[in-house]
Amino acid sequence: MEMKISDNDVLLDCRNIWKIFGARAPAAVKAVSERGLSKKQVLQEFDCVVGVADASLQLCRGEIFCVMGLSGSGKSTLVRLFNRLIEPSLGTVTVKGREISGLNAAELRDMRARTIGMVFQSVALLPHRTVLENAAFGLEVRGIAKEKRNQIALAALEKVGLSDWTARYPSELSGGMQQRVGLARAFASDPEIILMDEPFSALDPLIRKQLQDEFRQLTKSLGKSSVFITHDLDEAIRIGDRIAIMKDGVIVQVGTAEEIVTKPADDYVADFVAGISRIHLVKAHSVMKPVAEFRAEQPNCDVDALLRTTPDADIGELIDLTMRSDSDAVAVVHDGKIVGVVTIRGLLRGVAGTPAEARAAA
């Protein structure tokens, strides 16, 4: 399950970054780097607020990385550190092997125009421009000729299903359509990385779900990578290849949806994932028990006669299999070998999500 990451594949590498806000921020930063103060101490001693504390993450090529946190968790600050809309107080951000704190103004503009696109919750469509002119904005800024940029923008609008709306103004569009234009504007510039700052949070649930699916499909088909900020765990699970959970400026856990749901790092994450349906998240390999253990418990059952499945089958599939089976267990096969058995008990545990036992079972 663990992805092997080579250095070439890391598009955006952020290491131990801090962002401290306040009048005495420089002193607080010094104290943090020299004395290793905690956030609470920084607030008490320097009256400074820690927005992001010691955050590290790597965005790989082709990956959608979700950062999930409630309001005030520092997730919006974190994403702005990646294109230097906010300067980090400490730590480094490297984009395609280049540390961005070392870029001069022109290089930074170039990086923002070509490499890192951004989509905002507020959408920020310029009200005096048509949909087409808005979608072409990034290209216009780069000085691409009108005909060329309109052509590219139109293609981007087609991808989000708005090619009939090019001559309209943003105020004539619904919220969902406006955010589609926002997406088209970001994709039209053809950046490798797209930063998504809670882009769908203000939309109603049905439209949000549609846009989530479209965004994931578009990003994957175009081979883009994305850091996606959200306060909605369902959204993070739906969209993200990996998810980071943020709390009070700290990244508490990074992992796939399944890892986070089945092995929450602390009580905070556990509380969060408690309400999430595990049916499609928890896989056979997390709920199966070793063959020997199963044999010891049920000596009469012939393991080789059980219905078989793969370690990646989710609970939904396992339930289907069990229902079709004569016995109450399913064998999990990997590389032609039975590596474990999923019993009804294991399934129930997976659905209920009692982490300790699930971990033990895995």
**By CB under 8 A, residue 137 contacts another protein:** yes
Query: What DSSP character marks residue 262?
Result: H
**By CB under 8 A, residue 113 contacts another protein:** yes
Position among 112, 278, 285, 289 found at the interface with another protein (CB under 8 A): 112
β strands within 134-241, DSSP E? 193-197, 225-230
**By CB under 8 A, residue 268 contacts another protein:** no
Least distance in angstroms from the C-beta of 102 to another protein: 17
Position among 111, 131, 135, 183 found at the interface with another protein (CB under 8 A): 111
- The answer for residues whose C-beta is within 8 angstroms of residue 14's C-beta and 6 or more apart is 55, 56, 57, 58, 81, 82, 91, 92, 93, 94
Least distance in angstroms from the C-beta of 123 to another protein: 8
**By CB under 8 A, residue 141 contacts another protein:** yes
Position among 51, 69, 74, 138 found at the interface with another protein (CB under 8 A): 138
- The answer for residues whose C-beta is within 8 angstroms of residue 62's C-beta and 6 or more apart is 220, 223, 224, 225
* Residue 316 C-alpha from the chain's centroid: 24
Written as one string, the DSSP assignment of 270-299 is HHHHTTS--TTT-BHHHH-B-HHHHHHH-T
Angle between helices 175-188 and 205-221 (to 10 degrees): 10
184-223 positions binding another protein, by CB under 8 A: 189, 195
Strand order through the sheet with 10-21:
49-60, 10-21, 90-95, 98-99
**By CB under 8 A, residue 24 contacts another protein:** no
Position among 124, 202, 301, 351 found at the interface with another protein (CB under 8 A): 124
Least distance in angstroms from the C-beta of 23 to another protein: 18
- Which listed range, 11-19, 95-103, 135-143, 313-321, lies at the site for another protein (CB under 8 A)? 135-143
Least distance in angstroms from the C-beta of 262 to another protein: 36
- Which listed range, 34-42, 104-112, 319-327, 335-343, lies at the site for another protein (CB under 8 A)? 104-112
* Residue 196 C-alpha from the chain's centroid: 10
Least distance in angstroms from the C-beta of 222 to another protein: 19
Considering all CA atoms of the chain, what is the largest pairwise distance in Å, rounded to the nearest integer?
77
Q: Which helix (H) or strand (E) holds 301?
A: none
Position among 40, 109, 148, 334 found at the interface with another protein (CB under 8 A): 109
Interface pattern 226-265 for another protein (x via CB under 8 A): ----------------------------------------
48-87 positions binding another protein, by CB under 8 A: 83, 85
Angle at 20 between CA 14 and CA 26, to 5 degrees: 110
For another protein, give the closer residue by CB, 21 or 120: 120
Least distance in angstroms from the C-beta of 240 to another protein: 22
Q: Which helix (H) or strand (E) holds 267?
A: helix 267-273
**By CB under 8 A, residue 174 contacts another protein:** no
- The answer for residues whose C-beta is within 8 angstroms of residue 246's C-beta and 6 or more apart is 55, 67, 68, 69, 73, 74, 75, 78, 252
Any idea of the CA torsion for 166, 172, 173, 179, to the nearest 10 degrees?
A: 80
For another protein, give the closer residue by CB, 4 or 128: 128
- Which listed range, 89-97, 132-140, 155-163, 268-276, lies at the site for another protein (CB under 8 A)? 132-140
Number of helical (H) and strand (E) elements in the chain, helices listed first: 17, 13
**By CB under 8 A, residue 122 contacts another protein:** yes
For another protein, give the closer residue by CB, 168 or 345: 168
Least distance in angstroms from the C-beta of 124 to another protein: 4
How many CB atoms lie under 10 A from the CB of residue 60?
19
Q: Which residues bind another protein (CB under 8 A)?
A: 83, 85, 108-114, 116-118, 120, 122, 124, 126, 128-130, 133, 137-138, 140-142, 146, 189, 195
